[in-house]
Amino acid sequence: MPIRIVRYTADHVAAVRDLNRRLSPDEVLEELQFPETPDPGWLPGMELFVALEDGAARGGYMLRRQEFSVLGETVPVAHYRQPLSEGVIDRKYAMLALRLVRDALVREPRLYALGMGGFQNPLPQMLKRLGWRICAVPFHFKVVHPFRFLREIQALRTTPARRFLLDAAAYTGAGWLGLRLMGHARRVRNVKSETAARFSEWADAVWEQSRTGYTLLAARNSGILDALYPPGDPRFLRIRAAGGWAVLLDTAMEGHKQFGNIRVGTIVDCLAPPEDAATVVRAATRTLEKRGVDLIVSNQLHAGWCQALAAAGFRRGPSNFLFAASPALAALLEDAEDGDLHINRGDGDGPIHL
């Protein structure tokens, strides 16, 4: 019986569970696990689909339907999320990944994908062959406490020689001096800001004032923001500054494969008219510095926010966080540069793993 791609229902849960066990028997690879419920309850507008063959699940994907502002006009768009195919372990299903994305394009031609782990991975390579517009969303970082950074940053401590050099730099103070000369470790001066327990009318005003300043911008009114960053979730810190806002995380890592045991601050999401980006970034950075984080990171695509981060002492590192727009969505952005688009982690899976 040929493979059918259908909406995920409770009748398919057992088949999806079997698929997950085949793909990752020990459940160690989260990226090879499809939700074992048709209603994961993460975000509004989410739809899940599974590929079935004689009752067996062979793959699936998620669509999150939402509204974007494109050149100030409201346009329906969907996020193509977590496509999963048994083709990763069985070449018999090697073409299923292509079928999944084509099925999603029929349901919503204006799609985007985000993250994907870098250009070398199969999904972005396939999307590029299909004519999608793809770019990297720059990764920005600022070292606040050089000693802990140098001693813990596992992404750099990959060989005995590197570990020796980083330890030497940490204990002699040479690392502190070098990072300070690069703009790291310098504290941002105080900027007037305040924390907010939730988003409300003031966030709606920011949305209306900001939307025309960006070629592409996902809807970020108060209702959407409270769904993305629930008021009852203690992880999220919301700050207001200069007619804009930012959502922050302060996470104490434990044995992280990249960050080790560093305390990481993250600027997850943010919005303001482009001319106010620098003030919002300074307020966000200062808030995290005062909380005592060792490192601050953020992925931001828009040129104004990238410049604001650089002015606050951030530097760029390699990015494996990609943005891809389907041909129908890319056609709306034909005259836009990548730096005209406001894209960050708030448009994707949010603060997962941060």
Answer whether residue 82 is part of any domain. Answer: yes
Number of domains in the chain: 2
- What amino acid occupies position 126? M
Both 104 and 143 in a single domain?
Answer: no
pLDDT score, position 69: 95
Both 74 and 9 in a single domain?
Answer: yes
pLDDT score, position 177: 58
Both 88 and 158 in a single domain?
Answer: no
Q: Residue 138: which residues within 8 A CB-CB, separation 6 or more? A: 299, 300, 301, 306, 316, 319
Both 147 and 280 in a single domain?
Answer: yes
Both 71 and 160 in a single domain?
Answer: no
Answer whether residue 339 is part of any domain. Answer: no
Domain CATH number, residue 101: 3.40.630.30
List beta partners, residue 270.
Answer: 246
Answer whether residue 300 is part of any domain. Answer: yes
pLDDT score, position 173: 62
Both 310 and 176 in a single domain?
Answer: yes
pLDDT score, position 9: 95
Answer whether residue 350 is part of any domain. Answer: no
Answer whether residue 188 is part of any domain. Answer: yes
Answer whether residue 44 is part of any domain. Answer: yes
Both 156 and 94 in a single domain?
Answer: no
pLDDT score, position 108: 97
Both 150 and 271 in a single domain?
Answer: yes
Both 46 and 176 in a single domain?
Answer: no
pLDDT score, position 204: 96
Both 65 and 10 in a single domain?
Answer: yes
Answer whether residue 338 is part of any domain. Answer: no
Answer whether residue 63 is part of any domain. Answer: yes
Both 169 and 289 in a single domain?
Answer: yes
Q: Which domain holds residue 293?
A: 139-317
Both 35 and 165 in a single domain?
Answer: no
pLDDT score, position 166: 64
pLDDT score, position 58: 97
pLDDT score, position 40: 81
Mean pLDDT (10-residue bins), the chain, 354 residues: 92 95 73 85 86 95 95 94 93 95 98 94 96 97 84 76 68 62 66 89 96 95 93 92 94 84 94 96 95 96 97 93 97 94 86 51
